[in-house]
Structure 1
Amino acid sequence: MATKRSVRLGTVQETLLLPLYGRARQTRSRRWGVIHDPKAVEMVETLDYDFERFRDGGSAVGATARTVMCDAWVRAFLRRNPTGTIVEIGAGLNTRFERIDNGTAHWVDIDLPDSMALRREFFSEGPRRRMVEGSVLDDAWFDTVRAFPGPYLFVIEGVLMYLDRVEVERALRRMAEAFPGARFIFDLCGSRMLEFQDRRGPLRHVDARLAWACEAPGEFERCGLRLLDSRSMRDLPRMVRIPLPLHITMTVAGPLLARGPSLHTFNLYEAPEPSGA
């Protein structure tokens, strides 16, 4: 039997294992799977970590739904900009390059040192792909991104809600100023998700905690970003093709999902070009 690879991650960084497990579990599911990700299965089978703790928390559908909804926007961007650059901030062990790369786009994967060390055990760089140690809160990686051709799409998946909101707004404002015309995808948790994190769902099994909630994604327009689209789990069937059993389940649950504020929103923004550009 092959030796398992050890996992040494910080408190927030450990959360990268939730979507990994979700994609692996969905890939193994014949009836309910919304994604095909054999690389995720390989990593789950290789890592020395108790993934079974996440089995009862709905992480398979919830975390993977976030990924496939982001995928839909990334694919749309690549159709319009086939040689542009995708910047994954908080890349973790995501496999978006392996799943949807078009053969001409450029990718920059950014994450903290411990997460990036683990990522390098499974992925490698190439002429169109760089892996960089860094954080959404710093700008040391800006020049690495600028070395690749625009336009740029920044994907910040499952990251911002664990950080200090003031620092997040400052970082987004700095990125919007540095990359005018770029697009940004990031998710936000609602107050219900913040309230439920200790009582249900996969976050009960890790030490990281959501730090803040946002009910109105348009609030981030004050950071120099224009909100182009905002979706929630109730929009999943309209954004991507999903298995019939899941489609029926979500159709039945639709009226319930539509009540009150969303637990989780997925948002697309653009940093406007300077006036007169």
Structure 2
Amino acid sequence: MERISIELGNVQETLLSTLYARALETRKRNGILRDPKADEMVRRIDYDFTKFDGSPTLVPSVLRTLILDEWVRGFLSLHPLGTVVEIGTGLNSRFERVDNGRTHWLELDLPDSMDLRKRFFTESDRRRMVAASVLDDSWYGIVRELPPPYFFVSEGVLLYLREEDVRRALRQLAHGFPGCRIAFDTAGRWMVEHQGDEMFMKQIDAEYAWHCDDPGVVQRWDIGLRLAESRTLLQLPRGLRSRLPLLPRVAIAGIRAFYGRKARVYLLNLFESQPSLRASNR
């Protein structure tokens, strides 16, 4: 099988770490996430993924994905004909994991990442791919061509932006799509300040720029967003917790007990833009 060469910017290269995390979890006999598409892509891309082996960020990356998947599924259960917009989609195969056969989907990323993505994924009548930045609103018209309501999900993206850029991006979305939902992850101050520590085995020259320990800060920006839910990576969906093998359950409980608030170095946040999303299009 032909190996695919890549050329990505530093921040965009981080998509390979999260891709590898999903592939490794898929290969486990009792893995908590099944993503055969991720495993396929890792095997085809000409890149030394083994440099990520042993990184303490691999499992948290999978947990983050699982929580966001759960929120998207919840949205689709209420609005099966609605539209999901993935911002900074990278090589994520969320569409393959959660598609209900009826939803519409738009995947957004920078040109180099999108060029790579198109080597593995194709558009359809329900799936579109757009090369653009979250800071640019030129793609909003494409979203509005798709059926509302809208769910925007951004995984591993906003924390690389400056706070003023995060604020601008979220304000544009909230004002451009009243009633939408927006889910994204943040990194706490401790994580941002210690990201270069040897313990994190950092292998890519990309740095977090925005720290946010309290999602209430975003709500207090007064940009039209209301916090609907926030979780740490240790607050797993109920259905997932019950399926975890004993050892991972014990490990998560131990981390929560030992580290306390430091376990909140990553937060997953779900916001609603005003007016609140009420009507279902089932």
The whole-number CA distance in structure 2 between the counterparts of 1:173 and 1:61 is 31
Q: Give the Cα separation in 2 of the matches to 1:201 and 1:145.
A: 41
Q: Deviations over 1:170-229 (max 9, x none)?
A: 111011001000000000000121122111466610000111211111111122210011
Residue 122 of structure 2, aligned match among 121, 124, 133: 124
Q: Map of 1:4-153 to 2, 5 A cutoff?
A: 4-31=3-30, 33-153=31-151
Alignment of 1:235-246 (within 5 A): 235-236=235-236, 238=238, 240-241=240-241, 242-244=243-245, 245-246=247-248
SS at match of 2:10: coil
1:273 CA drift (Å): 1.7
In the TM superposition, residue 240 of structure 1 has moved relative to its aligned partner by 2.5
Q: CA deviation at 1:55?
A: 0.8
Check whether the contact 2:10–2:205 (CA below 8 A) recurs between aligned residues.
yes
Unpaired segments ≥5 residues, structure 1? none
Paired residue type of 1:253: I
1:164–1:259 CA distance, 2 compared to 1 (3 A):
closer
Equivalent position of 1:180 in the other structure? 178
Deviation at 1:258, TM superposition (A): 2.6
User: Could you tell me whether the CA contact under 8 Å between 1:18 and 1:202 is conserved in 2?
Assistant: no
1: CA distance, partners of 2:81 / 2:237: 29
Secondary structure in structure 2 of the residue aligned to 1:107:
strand
Q: Is the 8 A contact 1:89 1:157 kept in 2?
A: yes
Residues 200 and 147 (structure 1 numbering): CA distance in 2 closer, same or farther, change over 3 Å? farther
- Partners of 1:36 and 1:96 lie apart in 2 by 11
Structure 1 pair 165/203, CA: closer, same or farther in 2 (3 Å)?
Answer: farther
Aligned partners of 2:40, 2:203: CA distance in 1, in Å? Answer: 22
- Measured after TM superposition, the shift of residue 58 of structure 1 is 2.3
Distance in 1 (alpha carbons) for counterparts of 2:185 and 2:54 = 23
Q: Is the 8 A contact 1:85 1:152 kept in 2?
A: yes
Equivalent pair of 2:86/2:152 in contact (CA under 8 Å): yes
Query: In structure 2, what is the Cα distance between the partners aligned to 1:67 and 1:201?
Result: 22
Task: Report the counterpart of residue 162 of structure 1 in structure 2.
Answer: 160
* 8 Å contact from structure 1 (residues 190, 261) kept in 2: no
Structure-2 change in CA distance of 1:140 and 1:266 (3 Å): same
Instruction: Report the TM-score when normalising by structure 1.
Output: 0.94
Report the AA paired with residue 8 of structure 1. Answer: E
8 Å Cα contact 1:56/1:201 also seen in 2: no
Structure 1 counterpart of 2:16, one-letter code: L
Once structures 1 and 2 are overlaid, which stretch shifts more, 62-71 or 242-251?
A: 242-251
Query: Number of residues paired by the alignment?
Result: 272
The residue number in structure 1 matching 2:252 is 250
Structure 1 CA distance, aligned partners of 2:121 and 2:208?
28
SS of corresponding position for 1:72: helix
Structure 1 runs of 4+ with >3 Å offset:
200-203
| SS of 1:234 mapped into structure 2 | coil
Q: Conserved in 2, the CA contact under 8 Å of 1:25 and 1:41?
A: yes
> Could you tell which deviates more after superposition, 218-227 or 88-97?
218-227
Q: 2:256·2:263 contact (CA, 8 Å) conserved in 1?
A: no
Distance 2:147 2:237 in 1: 33
Q: Secondary structure at the match of 2:202?
A: helix
SS at match of 1:235: coil
Task: Give the superposition deviation at 1:261.
Answer: 6.4
Q: How far, CA to CA, are the matches of 1:61 and 1:261 in structure 2?
A: 14
Q: Which residue of 2 aligns with 1:233?
A: 233
Where in structure 2 are there 5+ consecutive unaligned residues? 277-282
Range with bigger deviation, 254-263 or 53-62: 254-263
Give the Cα–Cα distance (whole angstroms) in 2 for the partners of residues 151 and 3 of structure 1.
Answer: 40
